[in-house]
C-alpha cells in the first residue's frame, strides 16, 4: 500500500484563476481500501477527475458513496471524509471561487457545501477534457490538456468591474483579517448590498468566506514549526478574539481541536508545507 500527493503550479496566464493542479495516487492490490482522510475547507473550488477506472468514496449522511468519474465541488464549510478503494489516481484543478463566473459564466451558489458531476454542471463540452486526460500515465500530459481547455475559456473574460470578485480577492489578500464593514467601505458599496450579491454568487456570505480563509491561513501556519504551536500566539496572529475563539472556529471546520489536527496531519488530504512543482509550459 502506498499513497502520494503532489501539487503543480499553473502557467502564468492561468495563475489568477487556478491555485494549483494536484495528483493523488493510492496504489494497492485488489480492492484494499486506503486510510480514511479528511478534505478541509480552504475556500477553493475543485474540479476532480478519476484518471482510471477505480473511484474514491466519500461519506455523506453516515453512508459511503462512490464518487462520479468526474465531478465539481463548490465552496465548502464542512470537512469531508473520503477513502480510495483499490488503486486510484485522482487529478484535481483547484480554482479560485471567482474563476467560475469569469471563465465559464456560471454561478456556483447552488453548490455551496455540495458537489455534482461535471456534465450536469458544465454541459457536454466538459466531456472533451475528461476524455483527453483519462488513462494518461504522464501527469504533465494531463496538465497540458487541462491548460489547453482552460486557456480557451479566457475568451469569456469581461473588462467590467465586479465588486464581488474584488471582495473575494481582498479577503484572501488580507488572510481573512479584513472586517466586512471595512471591506464594504473600501469597495464603496453598502454592507447589506455586498452580503446579498456575495451570497448570490457563491451561496454563502462574505463573513463565512472570510472565516474559512482565516482558518486556512492558521492551518497552513503549522508548516512553520516542527513542535506543537502555542495556540494563544496563533489566536492573536490570525486575528481571533482569544484562544477559545480560535479553538471553536478550528473545531467547526475540522471536527477536531487544533492539537489533534497537528498531531495527526497525515489524516488530512492536503499536507501543509508542500512545494508546488513547476509544470513544463
Query: What's the half-sphere exposure (Cβ side, CA atoms, 13 Å) at 164?
Result: 22
What would the CATH number be for the domain defined by 2-156?
Answer: 2.60.120.10
DSSP one-letter string for 3-61: EEEEEEEPPGGGTTTEEEEEEEEEE-STTPBPPPEEEPP-S-EEEEEESSS--EEEEET
> pTM for the whole thing?
0.91
Residue 71's H or E segment, with its range, is strand 70-73
> Angle at Cα 245 formed by Cα 244 and Cα 250, nearest 5°?
100
- Tell me the pLDDT of the chain (281 aa) as tens digits: 788 889 999 999 999 999 999 999 999 988 888 888 888 999 999 999 999 999 999 998 889 999 999 999 999 999 999 999 899 999 999 999 999 888 888 879 999 999 999 998 888 989 999 999 999 999 999 999 999 999 999 988 887 789 999 999 999 999 999 999 999 999 999 999 999 999 999 999 999 999 999 999 998 887 677 788 888 988 888 889 899 999 999 999 998 888 888 887 666 666 544 555 665 55
Separation between Cα atoms, residue 247 and residue 256, nearest integer Å:
9
Domain 163-267 has CATH 1.10.10.10: no
Grid cell, residue 34, equals: 486506503
- Sorted by where each begins, the domain ranges of the chain are 2-156, 163-267
Q: Which residues pair with 81 in a beta bridge?
A: 38
* Spacing of C-alpha 185 from chain mean position: 28
Please answer whether residues 69 and 131 qualify as being in contact, where contact means their C-beta atoms are separated by less than 8 angstroms: no
Phi, psi of 179 (to 5 degrees): -70, 155
Edge-to-edge, what's the strand order for the sheet holding 18-27? 115-117, 70-73, 45-50, 88-95, 18-27, 2-9, 277-278
Give the C-alpha distances (Å, rounded to integers) separating 168 from 14, 183, 261: 17, 10, 27
Please provide residue 142's backbone torsions phi and psi, each rounded to the nearest 5 degrees: -65, -45
Amino acid at each position: 500500500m502506498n499513497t502520494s500527493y503532489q501539487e503543480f503550479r499553473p502557467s502564468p496566464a492561468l495563475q489568477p484563476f487556478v491555485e494549483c493542479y494536484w495528483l493523488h495516487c493510492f496504489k494497492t492490490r485488489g480492492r484494499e481500501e486506503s486510510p480514511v482522510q479528511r478534505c478541509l475547507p480552504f475556500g477553493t473550488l475543485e474540479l476532480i477527475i478519476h484518471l482510471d477506472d477505480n473511484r474514491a468514496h466519500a461519506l455523506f449522511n453516515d453512508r459511503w458513496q462512490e464518487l462520479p468519474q468526474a465531478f465539481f465541488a463548490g465552496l465548502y464549510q464542512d470537512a469531508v471524509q473520503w477513502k480510495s478503494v483499490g488503486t486510484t489516481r485522482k487529478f484535481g484543478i483547484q480554482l479560485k471561487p471567482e474563476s467560475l463566473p469569469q471563465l465559464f459564466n456560471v454561478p456556483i451558489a447552488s453548490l455551496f457545501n455540495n458537489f455534482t458531476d461535471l456534465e450536469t454542471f458544465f454541459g457536454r463540452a466538459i466531456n472533451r477534457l475528461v476524455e483527453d486526460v483519462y488513462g494518461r500515465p504522464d501527469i504533465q500530459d494531463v496538465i497540458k490538456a487541462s491548460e489547453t481547455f482552460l486557456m480557451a475559456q479566457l475568451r469569456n473574460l469581461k473588462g467590467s468591474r465586479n465588486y464581488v470578485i474584488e471582495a473575494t480577492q481582498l479577503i484572501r489578500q488580507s488572510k481573512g483579517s479584513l472586517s466586512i464593514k471595512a471591506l464594504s467601505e473600501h469597495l464603496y458599496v453598502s454592507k447589506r448590498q455586498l452580503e446579498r450579491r456575495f451570497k448570490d454568487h457563491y451561496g454563502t456570505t462574505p463573513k463565512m468566506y472570510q472565516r474559512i480563509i482565516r482558518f486556512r491561513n492558521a492551518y497552513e501556519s503549522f508548516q512553520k514549526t516542527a513542535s506543537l504551536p502555542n495556540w494563544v500566539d496563533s489566536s492573536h496572529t490570525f486575528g481571533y478574539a482569544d484562544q477559545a475563539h480560535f479553538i471553536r472556529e478550528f473545531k467547526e471546520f475540522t471536527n477536531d481541536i487544533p492539537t489533534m489536527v497537528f498531531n495527526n496531519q497525515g489524516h488530512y488530504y492536503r499536507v501543509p508545507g508542500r512545494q508546488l512543482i513547476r509544470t513544463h509550459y
